[in-house]
Amino acid sequence: MKRTLPVVGMACAACSAHVEKKLNSLEGVHSASVNLPGRSAWIDYDPETISPAQMKRAINDIGYDLIIDEDTSAAAIERREFQRLKRQTLLSWGFSVAVMAVSMHWIPLGNAFPSNLAAMLLTVMNMVICGRQFYVSAWRQTLHASANMDSLVALSTLIAFLFSVFNTFLGDAVWTARGMAWNTYFDASVMIITFVLTGRMLEEKARDGVASSIRQLMGLSPKTAHIVGEDGKTREVPVSTIEVDDELEVRTGEKVPVDGIVTRAQSFMNAEAAYVDESMITGEPLPVEKKAGDRALAGTIPSQGIFHIRARQIGEETALAQIIRMVQQAQGSKAPVQRIVDKAAGIFVPVVCLLALLTFVLWLVIGGTPLLPQAILSAISVLVIACPCAMGLATPTALMVGIGKAADQQILIKDATALERMRRVNVMVTDKTGTLTIPNQQIDFTRAGDLPLEERETLKPNAREAMQQLQKEGIEVYMMSGDHDEAARYWATKAGIAHYQSKVLPQDKENLVRRLQQEGKTVAMVGDGINDTQALALADVSIAIGRGTDVAMDVAQVTLMGDDLRALPQALALSRRTVSMIWQNLFWAFIYNIVSIPLAAGALHLIGIDFQITPMWASALMACSGLSVVLNSLRLKWTK
């Protein structure tokens, strides 16, 4: 069984890596992939060996939660969590302003209540009320011999706080007695928490746009339907109560609740037909005529008329539900580069802790006890500025946006590997009947005087434009047809295709794909029938036409839901842009950490430059780095 379940409590790449590792370690789980920006886990498991409740308990043990109740809305949980995060952030800013006010003596408190003591109490309140989640999470991670972003935040703020408490009560006795000045750093503790919370809140808000495609698809499913009783009267019922063979009435403007067969239809234009807008599923702009015996799909909307349907596929079996599931699984899949990033994220936090310790030791070696405050602050800055979030979000965020944008254009991509491979395609092999031409129509090749061929126009709209665009981009196109030579040449010419083969069998299509691959080409195969499945299975990228056979769609990695073949060059262009965005994100994420960690450690002091990133600014930069990756990925949504 395969399911996509929401995960609560993940904050960085290390979190998603821990959840994924735990799920994959469970007996009965065949494979699991965790999507950080999507806050979800795609799990393939044996229900006879392990249940969702057992998986939930295992995830709870390591400090996270798996939502297994189908009645619990993941969107509602996310909204509730965002509101809680928003309240914490605003309150933390209030504590930050108060701590700064007393620390900088903007508010005179007098000798009866020293400013350091007031700052300490305010900081404790901020850590307990607003930052409690960091310490709870860090403790749970420690119990399981692991660490994540929360561990860095908890460790850095505790060090700054404890050092400040020490100075508050023993500063004069220890430092002043030795002729050394001392300070407290309560403002650093409180500002680190504030900036991290602010960054997460902004990141969550921006991430809301990343998952918009899935929400739009889910929004196509109505909550209620009109069921026709034995007495012929209709009543409104929840969609979840509909059973196979129930008769349903669908009115103008309502959404079809399930997949079914039309039993009767009427409209003011036609006494025996209604007209349905299927553009949200197929991308076709014109309403489709529906008569008795025709199939109606869940999520489509009658634009004219009223009709009855007999329920055939309900719940998770509808075409819309399968599309949603395919997009979710694709967004949760991992590109090859993500495997490398996951391994890096797994050791990132421990490495940062070692770098912070090394920074502390080096400062003490260089300057001894007088530089102890500098050593502590430098170590704190290193802990805070390091950001596994940016690195962990770089790939999955771009993938979610890219695959979601493809779904908006009626291009369904099964996994990240297919999306990554499409950018390298330089040869496309296409079937003719049902792919380039409209099925179930024939051509009369009888000679008529000197007019060379009589024909009825059956080439799909925009097919020639699509083929020309592909070839303009340097992609060779081959048309494969079972027709005789004259017909194959005719249709190849009509479609603007230079290379074609006639009288081909399924094995011939497979042989062509294999030969092109042996020549070092990256081959995409486009087809719609059972006779295309051999070639589809062998191709580097397999593309099925959505109105083709279920077998072809099952084999294919990419499915075009409509008949507009311009989606082919669009899919390839989107692949190139998405992969380019992934590498941009990874580049800046790695550059950020490579540059910022030495600056936070105070490396410039070694060459005589008196500059260093303080803990407060380190937390601000860390928050901005993760947010920048999400915002950069969102640019894909507005790319034409």
Q: Which residues are catalytic?
A: 431
Angle subtended at Cα 123 by Cα 120 and Cα 128, rounded to the nearest 5 degrees = 125
Question: How many residues does the structure list for the chain?
Answer: 640
Q: How many CA atoms lie within 13 A of 334 on its CB side?
A: 22
CA distance 310 to 138: 55
Coil vs helix vs strand at 30: strand
Helices (H), 62-148: 74-103, 115-129, 132-143
- Provide CB contacts within 8 A for 572, sequence distance 6+: 422, 423, 425, 470, 473, 475
Coil vs helix vs strand at 130: coil
CA distance 346 to 387: 13
Whole-angstrom Cα Rg for the chain:
31
Residue 571 is encoded by which pair of tokens?
């899919």
CA distance 15 to 283: 38
- Provide CB contacts within 8 A for 50, sequence distance 6+: 26, 27, 28, 29
Q: How many CA atoms lie within 13 A of 121 on its CB side?
A: 6
Report the first-to-last Cα separation within the chain, whole angstroms: 37
- Residues 6-15: b if buried by 16+ CB within 10 A, e if exposed: bbebbbbbbb
Yes or no: say if 311 and 296 are a contact pair by the CB < 8 Å rule.
no
CA distance 157 to 191: 9
- Residue labelled with tokens 């339907």: 225
Cβ-based burial of 108 (10 A; exposed 0-12, middle 13-18, buried ≥19): exposed
Coil vs helix vs strand at 480: strand
**Cβ of 258: how many Cβ atoms within 10 Å?**
29
- Provide CB contacts within 8 A for 157, sequence distance 6+: 127, 131, 134, 188, 189, 192, 193
